[in-house]
DNA sequence: ATGTTC
């Protein structure tokens, strides 16, 4: 383990006050000794820097998929008081409400006689890649409704089934979303992109449940051994990116104006209830709602293909759940001061609320919130459930995925994409992407192994495994 | 992540 870090428990570590000047609370992160080789000094420094921000509660936290990001580390969780605390775009990331959803089907692997044909049909139907545009015609008025109503817009417009909204975190609609602080430029970028996958680590995957760790929880979530599922990983595309860019600029000047001292310019922030902070929060919530619509429309595209190819009814392909892993939300948590509403930033971290929480859909409440952890390309994904330990230790949060260990540029030089594609095919995994270059960037070697990350949160008790899903086919931008 | 160096 790196110097200056103290061991708290088997997989829990503390970055003490004083690691960087001005820390108000310690840092805490979760990591196994095995994964400690991957820990970057820069990411720990970022974790400590976040502890300098005003109004931070208890700890600056990070999950085992920690790596350096813009200002805040990816894998980071930070909660701020309403009255004294701040909100920061760096704590959310550029891809606002990047998230993952899982769609169940009644199919088994044997039902898919020609996986290549299914993958081609999906690749043709779901627009993918940088700058991909949808065939949907979204008017400026539609976009405004999308940003305010979230997934409810999509369901009302015919892109969903009855239970879809209830199975999204936050009901697929952030309250207090505001289209007013969303720039015209952001709207222009967002309008043609609703229902598109994007690029980078975003994907649409055909998976099969190949291990069940908790029968009862799996049954509650509607999952069983051998079942074919579809996983969608994407976010708010150019809209969220533009909102982040726009508001970083206004918050940089706000940081100075409010006299907030920050150790890194990338931690630009404003008081939660300042005009600038509220403008960012409203616009961020609007982008979050757009991202839920985006994943919902892609879900509809997947269901349409499956209905056409296999004659399955839309109602037989329920949404298991949809999680947001890049977002800031106002949430009630127990603190030293009693029960408080906090502005919880999760950047590359997943909400993992425990059993009994009213925020968990009624049909899942006894088990806890489903947590969806996508694997890197070609590696397994997991469904876990939230716990009371997460509520106590991490403001109800857990990891979000494998986590990079190699930069995009480094990965591109390491192995040609064509070779990665052939290697995966040997393992029985079909990859369909817009280019071999994008496959190289996302090579499995560029990521931590997802099971190691999942095992840390299991050992820490932050969330517990329900099923494992192995990939059969991957569609990438 | 991203009209991938506005």
Would A425 be classed as within a structural domain?
Answer: no
Question: Which stretches within A322-475 are classed as H helix?
Answer: 388-393, 408-414, 417-426, 436-441, 450-460
Would A124 be classed as within a structural domain?
Answer: yes
Give the pLDDT confidence score for residue A407 in this predicted structure: 85
Measuring CA to CA, how many Å separate A291 from each of A161, A163, A208, A375? 18, 18, 25, 20
Would A431 be classed as within a structural domain?
Answer: no
Structure tokens at A157: 């417009």
pLDDT digits (tens, 9 = 90+) for A263-309: 999 999 999 999 999 999 999 999 999 999 999 999 999 999 999 99
- How far is residue A452's CA from residue A454's CA, in Å, rounded to a whole number? 5
**Which bases of strand B have any atom within 7 Å of the beta carbon of a protein residue?**
1-4
Give the pLDDT confidence score for residue A327 in this predicted structure: 98
Determine how many CB atoms are found less than 10 A away from the CB of residue A130.
Answer: 13
Question: Does residue A401 have a known ligand-binding role?
Answer: yes
Contact, A183 CB vs strand B, < 7 Å = no
Contact, A193 CB vs strand B, < 7 Å = yes
**CB crowding A63-83: b at 16 or more within 10 Å, else e:** bbbbbbbbbbbbbbbbbbbee
Smallest CA–C1' separation from A199, nucleotide = B1
Q: Among chain A residues 105 through 124, which have CB within 7 angstroms of nucleic chain B?
A: none
Give the pLDDT confidence score for residue A405 in this predicted structure: 87
Question: Does residue A205 have a known ligand-binding role?
Answer: yes
Range of the domain at A238: 6-405+447-476
Is residue A400 annotated as part of the catalytic site, yes or no? yes
Would A427 be classed as within a structural domain?
Answer: no
Would A211 be classed as within a structural domain?
Answer: yes
Query: Residue A447 CA to nucleotide B2 C1', Å?
Result: 20
Question: Which stretches within A91-236 are classed as H helix?
Answer: 115-125, 140-149, 151-156, 184-190, 215-220
Would A173 be classed as within a structural domain?
Answer: yes
pLDDT along chain A (477 residues), means of 10: 96 98 98 94 98 98 96 98 98 98 98 96 94 91 98 98 96 97 97 95 97 98 98 98 98 97 97 98 98 98 98 97 98 97 98 98 98 93 98 98 87 91 95 92 91 97 98 94
Structure tokens at A241: 């990116």
Contact, A202 CB vs strand B, < 7 Å = yes
Smallest CA–C1' separation from A236, nucleotide = B1
* CB distance A49 to A264 below 8 Å: yes
Active site residue: A247, A300, A385, A400, which one? A400
Question: Does residue A233 have a known ligand-binding role?
Answer: yes
Residue A374 has what DSSP assignment? P
Smallest CA–C1' separation from A326, nucleotide = B1
Would A413 be classed as within a structural domain?
Answer: no
Give the pLDDT confidence score for residue A234 in this predicted structure: 97
Sign of CA dihedral A8, A14, A18, A23: negative
Question: Does residue A273 have a known ligand-binding role?
Answer: no
Query: Residue A20 CA to nucleotide B1 C1', Å?
Result: 28
Q: Please name the residue whose C-alpha is nearest to the C1' of nucleotide B6.
A: A245
Q: Among chain A residues 35 through 94, which have CB within 7 angstroms of nucleic chain B?
A: 94
Q: Please name the residue whose C-alpha is nearest to the C1' of nucleotide B4.
A: A130
Query: Residue A241 CA to nucleotide B5 C1', Å?
Result: 16
Q: Taking the model in full, what pTM does it have?
A: 0.98
* CB distance A29 to A61 below 8 Å: yes
Give the pLDDT confidence score for residue A363 in this predicted structure: 98
Contact, A201 CB vs strand B, < 7 Å = yes
Smallest CA–C1' separation from A438, nucleotide = B4
Long-range contacts of A58-61, Cβ-Cβ distance < 8 Å, separation of 24 or more = A58/A25, A58/A335, A58/A336, A59/A25, A59/A26, A59/A27, A59/A28, A60/A15, A60/A23, A60/A25, A60/A26, A60/A27, A60/A28, A61/A27, A61/A28, A61/A29, A61/A349, A61/A394, A61/A395, A61/A397
pLDDT digits (tens, 9 = 90+) for A406-415: 888 889 889 9
Contact, A200 CB vs strand B, < 7 Å = yes
- How far is residue A173's CA from residue A152's CA, in Å, rounded to a whole number? 7
Give the pLDDT confidence score for residue A253 in this predicted structure: 96
Would A438 be classed as within a structural domain?
Answer: no
Give the pLDDT confidence score for residue A402 in this predicted structure: 86
The CATH number of the domain holding residue A330 is: 3.90.1860.10
Question: Does residue A377 have a known ligand-binding role?
Answer: yes
Question: Which residues 6+ apart lie within 8 Å of A331 measured at CB?
Answer: A79, A341, A342, A344, A359, A395, A396
Contact, A189 CB vs strand B, < 7 Å = yes
Number of domains in chain A: 1
A121's torsion region: left (phi>0), alpha (psi -120 to 50) or beta? alpha
Q: Please name the residue whose C-alpha is nearest to the C1' of nucleotide B3.
A: A131
Q: Among chain A residues 386 through 425, which have CB within 7 angstroms of nucleic chain B?
A: 408
Give the pLDDT confidence score for residue A404 in this predicted structure: 85
- How far is residue A196's CA from residue A238's CA, in Å, rounded to a whole number? 11
Q: Please name the residue whose C-alpha is nearest to the C1' of nucleotide B1.
A: A95
Query: Residue A155 CA to nucleotide B4 C1', Å?
Result: 33
């Amino acid at each position: 383990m790196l110097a200056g870090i103290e061991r708290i428990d088997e997989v829990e570590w503390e970055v003490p006050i004083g690691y960087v000047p001005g820390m108000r609370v310690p840092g805490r992160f979760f990591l196994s000794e095995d994964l400690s080789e991957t820990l970057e000094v820069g990411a720990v420094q970022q974790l400590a820097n976040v502890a300098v921000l005003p109004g931070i509660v208890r700890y600056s936290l990070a999950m085992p998929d920690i790596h350096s990001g813009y200002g805040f580390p990816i894998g980071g969780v930070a909660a701020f008081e309403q009255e004294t605390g701040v909100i920061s775009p760096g704590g959310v990331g550029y891809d606002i409400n990047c998230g993952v959803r899982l769609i169940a089907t009644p199919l088994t692997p044997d039902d898919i006689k020609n996986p290549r044909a299914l993958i081609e049909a999906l690749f043709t139907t779901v627009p993918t890649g940088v700058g991909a545009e949808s065939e949907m015609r979204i008017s400026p008025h539609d976009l405004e409704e999308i940003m305010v109503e979230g997934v409810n817009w999509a369901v009302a417009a015919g892109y969903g089934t009855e239970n879809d909204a209830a199975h999204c975190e936050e009901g697929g609609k952030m309250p207090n979303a505001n289209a007013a602080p969303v720039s015209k430029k952001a709207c222009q970028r967002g309008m043609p992109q609703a229902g598109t996958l994007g690029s980078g680590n975003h994907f649409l995957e055909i998976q099969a449940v190949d291990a069940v760790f908790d029968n009862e929880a799996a049954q509650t979530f509607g999952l069983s051994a051998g079942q074919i599922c579809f996983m969608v990983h994407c976010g708010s595309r150019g809209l969220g990116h533009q909102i982040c860019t726009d508001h970083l600029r206004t918050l940089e000047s706000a940081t100075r104006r409010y006299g907030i001292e920050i150790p890194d310019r990338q931690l630009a922030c404003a008081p939660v209830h300042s005009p600038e902070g509220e403008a960012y929060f409203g616009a961020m919530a609007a982008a979050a709602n757009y991202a839920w619509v985006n994943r919902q429309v892609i879900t509809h595209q997947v269901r349409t293909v499956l209905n056409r190819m296999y004659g399955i009814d839309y109602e037989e392909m329920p949404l298991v759940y949809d999680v947001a892993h890049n977002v800031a939300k106002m949430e009630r948590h127990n603190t030293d001061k009693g029960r408080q509403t906090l502005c919880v930033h999760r950047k590359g971290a997943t909400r993992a609320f425990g059993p009994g929480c009213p925020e968990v859909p009624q049909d899942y409440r006894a088990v806890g919130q489903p947590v969806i952890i996508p694997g890197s390309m070609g590696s397994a994904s997991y469904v876990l459930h939230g716990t009371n330990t997460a509520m106590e230790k991490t403001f109800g949060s857990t990891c979000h995925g494998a986590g990079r260990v190699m930069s995009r540029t480094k990965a591109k030089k390491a192995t040609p994409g064509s070779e990665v594609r052939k290697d995966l095919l040997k393992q029985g995994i079909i990859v369909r992407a817009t280019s071999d270059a994008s496959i190289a960037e996302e090579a499995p070697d560029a990521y931590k192994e997802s099971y190691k990350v999942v095992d840390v949160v299991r050992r820490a008790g932050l969330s517990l495994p329900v099923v494992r899903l192995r990939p059969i086919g991957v569609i990438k931008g």
